[in-house]
A = this chain, B = another copy of it.
Amino acid sequence: MVTLAEVAQHAGVSASTVSYVLSGKRSISANTRQRVERSIRELGYHPNAGARALASSKSNIIALMIPLRTDMYVPVMMEIAIAVATSARTHGYDVLLLTGEEGPDAVRRVAGSGLADGMILMDVELDDERLPLLRATDQPSVLIGLPADTSGLTCVDLDFRATGALCVEHLAKQGHHDIAVIGEAPAVYERHTGFAERTLDGLRSRGRELGVRMLHRPCEGGYDAMAVTLARILDERPDTSGIIVQNESAVEPLLALLRQQGRAVPEDVSVVAICPDQVATQASVRLTSVAIPAQEMGRHAVDHLVAKLEGRGSDEVVLIAPELTVRTSTGPAPSRP
């Protein structure tokens, strides 16, 4: 293993000079810089991460905490995680992956040991148990998702309230008056997950303003659950002509069931989904949808965290504006007999 000292010797300079070449914190003559850089290349030198962390009290590592909840849609999580890892690298940071297993203690461990310089928390609940600890350790952090109390925190999320509103508007504009909302699994609501509640909120308040009737039903993923849910909805509100789905694993079952029952999309029923674009475009009907901007969320989170770590940046809540893409699953409401 090549050390700084060896590079210094090889280049005929002192160790500190090499260090300054690497960090750029003091000016170095072009000549010396080149000699040092050459030695680094020839010897294949890589600074030792531990020594660096010890001397500078900076690990250049960002911790990413992903609680493993089985009812969350995994690909989105993954996409965010990948985006976080990738953009972290562009800032010179690596990413440490923490799962929910360890629970809130992970926050304490990481903050205490100086393992990471900051952390990004995913899948934040409205009243998340990790938050008190976060505030106490004043560990620089960014949340993906919105808790109830955001004071002193930096959060990044899709504006789910606006998302809900946008979906209703789109349907209402096409003349739909009876709209059903197929939501996430009941457990998600029971857990008070921010995004689910905020979507619902946006959906309802905009629906009230526009004078449309709204019926919300949570739904586990999969075929059988969807069949039951859909039957209940159509039983309660036979005139339902618009459906908004916020549950990736309910999308395809829903379409299949509608087809099976002879209800054409979009002629008889319009469907709007809140889901990743991939799901919307790969479904059996190309779905009008509001995309979950996973990459963007990951990138934003990293950018804000890095800003904080560098002393720039402050606490704030960043809500990403939703965008609705019209595809072939929505159309004018059928005229009533």
For A78, give its contact among B53, B77, B115, B222 (CB under 8 Å).
B77
A11 to chain B, nearest CB (A): 18
Residue interface bits A152-194, CB-to-B below 8 A is 1, else 0:
0000000000000000000000000000000000000000000
Interface flag for A29 (CB, 8 Å): no
Verify A64–B97 contact, CB threshold 8 A.
yes
Verify A109–B46 contact, CB threshold 8 A.
yes
* Known contacts A82-B99, A101-B89, A256-B256; A282 and B113 CB within 8 A of each other: no
Chain B positions within 8 Å of A99 at CB level: 82, 85-86, 89
Verify A282–B54 contact, CB threshold 8 A.
no
Given contacts A44-B112, A46-B112, 17 further A-B contacts (CB under 8 A): A1-B114, A45-B112, A47-B113, A48-B54, A48-B114, A53-B54, A74-B74, A75-B75, A78-B81, A81-B81, A85-B97, A85-B98, A95-B97, A223-B283, A223-B284, A252-B252, A256-B256
Nearest chain B residue, comparing its CB with the CB of A52: B50
For A115, give its contact among B44, B94, B102 (CB under 8 Å).
B94
Q: Is the interface of A mostly helix, strand, loop or mixed?
A: helix
Chain B positions within 8 Å of A89 at CB level: 99, 101-102
A36 to chain B, nearest CB (A): 17
Interface flag for A139 (CB, 8 Å): no
Interface flag for A319 (CB, 8 Å): no
A296 to chain B, nearest CB (A): 16
Separation of A53 and B1 alpha carbons in the complex (Å): 15
* Known contacts A68-B82, A74-B78, A284-B223; A50 and B59 CB within 8 A of each other: yes
For A49, give its contact among B53, B75, B221 (CB under 8 Å).
B53
Separation of A47 and B108 alpha carbons in the complex (Å): 12
Chain A, range 222-273, C-beta contacts under 8 Å to B: 222-223, 249, 252-253, 256, 259
A60 to chain B, nearest CB (A): 9
Partner-B contacts on A (CB < 8 A): 1, 44-54, 57, 59, 61, 64, 66, 68, 74-75, 77-79, 81-82, 85-86, 89, 94-99, 101-102, 108-109, 112-115, 221-223, 249, 252-253, 256, 259, 281-284
Verify B50–A54 contact, CB threshold 8 A.
yes
* Known contacts A54-B54, A66-B82, A95-B96; A114 and B284 CB within 8 A of each other: no
Verify A94–B96 contact, CB threshold 8 A.
yes
